[in-house]
Structure 1
Amino acid sequence: MDQALFNSLIDISASPAARKGRAEMMLERARWAATVFDRYDRDATLRIAEAVAEAAHARAGEFAEKAVAESGFGVAAHKKIKNELTAKPLVAHYRDADYVNPRVDEARKIVEVPRPAGVIFALTPSTNPIATINYKVLLALLTRNAIVISPHPAVKETSVEAAEELARAAEAAGAPAGVIQILAQPSIPMVEAFMTSEKTNVILATGGTPMVRAAYSSGNPAIGVGPGNAPVFVDESAEMTAAARRIVASKSFDNSVLCTNESVLITLSSVAGQLKRALKSAGAHVCSDEETEALRRFLFHPRGFNIEAIGRDATWIAQECGIRVSPDTKILVAPITQIGVEERLSKEKLCPVLSLHVTETRAQALSQARAVLRLTGAGHSAAIHAADEAVIMAYASTVEAYRVVVNAPCSQGAAGFATNLAPTFTIGTGFFGRSSIGENIGPQHLVHWTRIAYGSEADVPFGNFHGLGRSFRGALPRAPADGVPGSASAPSAPQPQPSAMSGMDSATRDELRRLIAAELRDLLRK
């Protein structure tokens, strides 16, 4: 990495006090916005979310092209699709869900009152920057939370422009000022200051393992995700032509930068030849042993995966490896004979290269699919193409994944865009992946509920709570300027509190900095 670029990343010119002060001002403004937003009724909340979704949809194509131009990888047409899917369809999916009004359960004599998290600090990746911003902003708005976004440095200009567009749309629709904010100059110390501040209520982390671990070790509540490495099993009961078409479409989508894409294809020797022919007809190039070795050398260096290949076209990768392919080749299929740490091609590959492993029996296939996820990607996603329900159930019960996509593209299916799973750009990896949540992250994870519970005895009458709840009344108080309350209606400035970092020992603080630095160093090159 260029030293000047890395110096700007670690923000060596600003003093720790200045960085902390800037973070605290943004967070105080967000906290004010969240306090005001908590007063809104459901209709006002939905109007704001719908306006923001409309704004995101309107410029989906423009921001897709800008993201590809700035980051240098991916397919603009596919990013446009992702940007659109995380706009109006996302709001439509949750339109009937109510995260604003109390829920009354007369039979159990319980009333549940929604309590938004408050201030969300959201990390976004370089691979899906605008779609992730759309998604996290709308989740925050649907639950009346304020959000501060830390964009990936490799695509920060486009991210800032997109987030500011959403902020303007939200405020024009009546949202309090400061409900959507973004760091214009993200840096390691700034990320550190936000992640450890007591004014941050929850961290919504999307990124590599080091960043997610840093979020969990920050001292604040965090919702994080782990890496993917999805196995896909094509059983002999599958319809081969359809399976091949779906796999190639999924693996080539946005040049395979989604963590839900298929990584290792497993099939049986009885149908391997038929499947290979179907893959070729669908646009795949099946590599020879020599070509597979060339791919292995190019994709994996002694330090790890070659990040130059991330999000690149299959034809570009083939050219770099000296492999002659048709100009319309969509993916490269690399046959491998084993799965494990010794075979680097059985690891995650965020590029249109799909490993292929052939087994003799279904039992072996299921065991190898389980091994793929145990190597990396535990708890994430898996896919199967089959017509035999017993095989599907056995597969789902064997692999350590919380999403098993059946007869659909895994990239889109696990993310909820080609299945009826909840649409998401943050995949919970659960206990298998050392995460607290195993389902697709949605607005329900950004609101908790205060439960009013009456005595269960029959002689204790239950009250009438129908029609009670928050309502939007009158003009909004003036927003604080640079974190300073602007009117008597705004929350008073809190007394200075010790930084969360001050309560951490030096070893923990150094480890947090090291993890964040490792994540940003690696991903800046993408």
Structure 2
Amino acid sequence: MQMNKSAQTNEEVAATISTMMEKARVAMDQIYDYSQEQVDELVQAVAWAIYKPGNTEKLAQIAVQDTGLGRYDDKVTKKRRKTMGTLYDLKDEKSVGIINKDEATGITEIAKPVGVVGAVVPSTNPGATPANIAMMALKGRNAIIIAPSPKGLTTSKLLLSYIHEELTKLGAPLDLVQVLPEPVNKAKTIELMKQVDFLTVTGSRNNVRLGQTSGTPNICVSEGNVVSIVDATADIQSAAHKIFLSKTFDNATSCSNDNSVVIEAPVYDEMIRALQKEGGYLCNQVEKDNLQASIWTADGKRNPETVAKDPAVIAQAAGLKNKKAEEATFFMVEETGVGEDYPFSGEKLAVVLTVYKAKDFTDAIDISKNILNYHGRGHSCGLHTSDESHIERIGLEMDVSRLLINQVQVSGNGGSFDNGLNFTLSMGGGTWAGNNTCDNLSYKHFLNVTKVSEVIPEVVPTEEELWGTYWEKYGRA
């Protein structure tokens, strides 16, 4: 009897997703002949739905209230900044019909939708991430179904109501954007992964793995564990301030928050003092042990009670009683090792910065590589320096998709108005991280492109052009 009930439940889940898929396909058919101008208005509508004064604040308030993660002010800032930046990136970009024509090659490129997009989004960004991905998906005339975390469902549903309100103004089909109905659970999310045409997963390692093994074409992205190097030539005060901003933003909910800093020995003490001036509290060994016990349980699992919490909550949980600790903006722990026996070397989702001392720049690169090979391989790292040779060297040696020089990692990795990276809340780590892309997620990932090839004047290379240099070195025998 229990088996029949379970099978029926699975059938109901499949039917629920199938119904949503049917609605999404109908909505897509209705906008297939939209002009570029009409498509761009869809994108503007989604952007305004989250950016609109009052909406932003309400979404941030509910996100903090229901998930218990992050900070209200920073969530407001994130929603506005990411939305404005993404809309700016999408403005004037072609995504409908002929998007490029190259007379020299005879190739004409025509953009087509990828289909119904499934977007699995994390509890850390239940408002900003769905809106960000929806803008990109609609830019390609796709429909999107959002799968929030259970704690983020209320925020995502409110966002959906705001989006539908704006789509109504345009006379556009509301089923272009849907959210999984409650109760949101693993069964529905996995079924969605199977049924959609294209999938993106932003969040936990387990969810990303499920997405990548779902059998659905996907652009699932990796975990972060940002490490920044401060070399002996860096502007110490500037570097400390930028690392402080990155470490503390939204209580470290982002994959791009600094998790570790590797400091060259000649400026180590100076850098520690600069970080302390930014409100950082350097724990002694006993305090470090207490902090570790409050962040991880005895079996090594992350304690949810200290995930993305205010510094005062962390201090209380770790029993840090002195005034400086209670008033700290973030905490620092000195570390020498990397790996499972050194949990502070991994991603923490907490306002805790792990500090390493490096003998020289070579040692700093080696330490950083070890950290990223343990957690966050392929994602990103940073360098604070005034030495151009160090910039070139680290770029050649570090296997990361993003390397930020003298920047605030948390606001730069996902795109910034003062760098050339496109705005996103989902960042690939390349094959280093087992991802299909090393790019920042963009609207281009939500386009199929038909390449129309026409005949051009024939160009046939000579044997000399192809093998001439080889023959010169090794002969023709």
Give yes or no for TM over 0.5: yes
Aligned counterparts of 1:110 and 1:176: Cα–Cα separation in 2: 34
Cα deviation for residue 101 of structure 1 reads 3.1
Aligned counterparts of 2:225 and 2:446: Cα–Cα separation in 1: 27
What amino acid does structure 2 have at the position aligned with 1:181?
A: Q
Q: Could you say which residue in structure 2 is the equivalent of 1:147?
A: 144
Q: Could you say which residue in structure 2 is the equivalent of 1:276?
A: 272
1:37 to 25, 28, 31: 31
What amino acid does structure 1 have at the position aligned with 2:108?
A: V
Question: 1:21 and 2:15 equivalent?
Answer: yes
What amino acid does structure 2 have at the position aligned with 1:62?
A: K
Cα deviation for residue 87 of structure 1 reads 2.2
1:189 to 163, 187, 190: 187
1:294 to 286, 290, 293: 290
Q: Could you say which residue in structure 2 is the equivalent of 1:266?
A: 262
What 5-or-longer segments of structure 2 have no aligned partner?
Answer: 460-477
Do 1:146 and 1:179's aligned partners in 2 also have CA atoms closer than 8 Å?
A: yes
Question: 1:162 and 2:159 equivalent?
Answer: yes
Aligned counterparts of 2:410 and 2:9: Cα–Cα separation in 1: 43
**Alpha-carbon distance change, 170 to 342 in structure 1, aligned in 2, over 3 angstroms:** same
Do 1:373 and 1:399's aligned partners in 2 also have CA atoms closer than 8 Å?
A: no
Question: 1:339 and 2:366 equivalent?
Answer: no
What amino acid does structure 1 have at the position aligned with 2:32?
A: D
Q: Could you say which residue in structure 2 is the equivalent of 1:509?
A: none
Q: CA-to-partner distance for each residue in 1:175-230, whole Å, 9 max, x for gaps?
A: 22310111121222212221112xx1101111111111111111110111111111
Do 1:229 and 1:373's aligned partners in 2 also have CA atoms closer than 8 Å?
A: yes
Aligned counterparts of 2:38 and 2:327: Cα–Cα separation in 1: 49
Question: 1:68 and 2:67 equivalent?
Answer: no
Aligned counterparts of 1:177 and 1:290: Cα–Cα separation in 2: 56
Aligned counterparts of 2:451 and 2:241: Cα–Cα separation in 1: 49
Aligned counterparts of 2:271 and 2:254: Cα–Cα separation in 1: 24
Calculate the aligned-residue CA RMSD, in Å. 1.7
Aligned counterparts of 1:354 and 1:396: Cα–Cα separation in 2: 23
Q: Could you say which residue in structure 2 is the equivalent of 1:510?
A: none
Task: Report which stretch shifted further, 322-331 or 253-262.
Answer: 322-331
Identity of aligned residues (%): 27
Cα deviation for residue 303 of structure 1 reads 3.4
Question: 1:105 and 2:102 equivalent?
Answer: yes
Do 1:201 and 1:221's aligned partners in 2 also have CA atoms closer than 8 Å?
A: yes
TM-score after normalising by structure 2: 0.91
What amino acid does structure 2 have at the position aligned with 1:52?
A: V
Q: Could you say which residue in structure 1 is the equivalent of 2:360?
A: 361
Aligned counterparts of 1:430 and 1:414: Cα–Cα separation in 2: 15
Q: Could you say which residue in structure 2 is the equivalent of 1:52?
A: 46
Q: CA-to-partner distance for each residue in 1:337-373, whole Å, 9 max, x for gaps?
A: 2223321110111010000010112111100001110
Cα deviation for residue 325 of structure 1 reads 4.2
Greater relative contact order (CA < 8 Å, ≥ 6 in sequence):
1
Aligned counterparts of 1:334 and 1:427: Cα–Cα separation in 2: 27
Question: 1:90 and 2:86 equivalent?
Answer: yes
**Alpha-carbon distance change, 458 to 73 in structure 1, aligned in 2, over 3 angstroms:** closer
What amino acid does structure 1 have at the position aligned with 2:63?
A: A
SS in 1 for 2:109: strand
Q: Could you say which residue in structure 2 is the equivalent of 1:433?
A: 433
Task: Report which stretch shifted further, 23-32 or 410-419.
Answer: 410-419
Aligned counterparts of 1:21 and 1:343: Cα–Cα separation in 2: 46
Moved segments of 4+, more than 4 Å: 11-14
Cα deviation for residue 115 of structure 1 reads 1.0
Q: CA-to-partner distance for each residue in 1:400-435, whole Å, 9 max, x for gaps?
A: 211011111111111113633111111111011011
* Within-5 A mapping of 1:444-523: 444-457=444-457
1:309 to 281, 306, 319: 306
